[in-house]
Amino acid sequence: QKEVEQDPGPLSVPEGAIVSLNCTYSNSAFQYFMWYRQYSRKGPELLMYTYSSGNKEDGRFTAQVDKSSKYISLFIRDSQPSDSATYLCAAHYTGTASKLTFGTGTRLQVTL
Amino acid sequence: DGGITQSPKYLFRKEGQNVTLSCEQNLNHDAMYWYRQDPGQGLRLIYYSQIVNDFQKGDIAEGYSVSREKKESFPLTVTSAQKNPTAFYLCASSPRQRETQYFGPGTRLLVL
């Protein structure tokens, strides 16, 4: 079992829809959670970074962490064609090394 | 502009050849990382370095080598011992004591 699991998709939604992207994790020691956006043939770009449980909002993006169920979510409101990309979740626990554990990514397609 | 640069964008390797991928950052970050990305497998950590002249193996270090002689630079050598080197290679960096990692644009390595 992978430590961070993510549905690979693809997920196709119409423009303007609310998108929900999800990950589950198995390691209870994870305390930091991130979402990265990766366009085709580009490096991942950090979107959201949260610590422990709770919600964090940044513009159209909301990251949510539920440590009791080991569930990580990213919501995108008013989705745009420019949001079409692969979204990677990642987790990390506090230690001497910043080693991230990544999910495999969910490919999102926002259609006109 | 602060950021991470990787070169070349595309690299071709012949059988039995060692090749070196360049990674440079001007963000004054202490830690640097190399990942390999294959379709459907997410990002896997090859090597990481938290400080100059020190580095540790990641999850898939066999067939790779690194050096960290300068804070700004963390080159990765793909040796002839790496039998399946075709992949997208990503370099990242992070500030000390923080967990967020920032990625470069990547190098795609292909075998001739």
The pLDDT value recorded for residue A54 is 86
Chain B interface residues facing chain A, Cβ-Cβ under 8 Å?
Answer: 4, 6, 31, 33, 40-43, 45, 48, 50, 56, 58, 88, 90, 94, 98-106, 108
**Does the pLDDT value for residue B10 go beyond 80?**
yes
The pLDDT value recorded for residue B55 is 94
Collect all residues of chain B within an 8 Å Cβ-Cβ radius of residue A98.
31, 33, 48, 50, 94, 98-99, 101
- Rounded to the nearest integer, the mean pLDDT of chain B is 92
Average pLDDT over residues B22-46: 93
The 3-state DSSP composition of chain B as helix, strand, coil percent (nearest 5) reads 0, 55, 45
Q: What is the pLDDT along chain A (112 residues), one digit of tens a residue?
A: 789 999 888 999 999 999 999 999 999 989 889 999 999 999 999 999 988 888 999 999 999 999 999 999 999 999 999 999 999 999 987 765 567 899 999 999 999 9
Average pLDDT over residues B84-97: 90
**Does the pLDDT value for residue B14 go beyond 60?**
yes
Report how far residue A38's alpha carbon sits from residue A19's, in angstroms, rounded to the nearest whole number: 16
Residue among A71, A83, A89, A90 at smallest CA distance from A109: A83
Asked whether the beta carbons of residue B104 and residue A43 sit closer than 8 angstroms, the reply is yes
Collect all residues of chain A within an 8 Å Cβ-Cβ radius of residue B38.
none
Average pLDDT over residues B26-46: 92
How confident is residue B98, by pLDDT bands cut at 50, 70 and 90?
low
pLDDT in tens, B58-75: 999 999 999 999 999 999
**Closest-CA residue of chain B to A4:** B42
The distance of A77 to chain B (nearest Cα, Å) reads 24
Report how far residue A28's alpha carbon sits from residue A12's, in angstroms, rounded to the nearest whole number: 32
Asked if residue B15 lies in contact with residue B111, where contact means CB atoms within 8 angstroms, the answer is yes
The pLDDT value recorded for residue B97 is 58
Q: What is the share, in percent, of chain B residues with pLDDT greater than 70? A: 96
Asked if residue A72 lies in contact with residue A5, where contact means CB atoms within 8 angstroms, the answer is no
The pLDDT value recorded for residue B58 is 92
Collect all residues of chain B within an 8 Å Cβ-Cβ radius of residue A105.
42
How confident is residue B95, by pLDDT bands cut at 50, 70 and 90?
confident
The pLDDT value recorded for residue B43 is 93
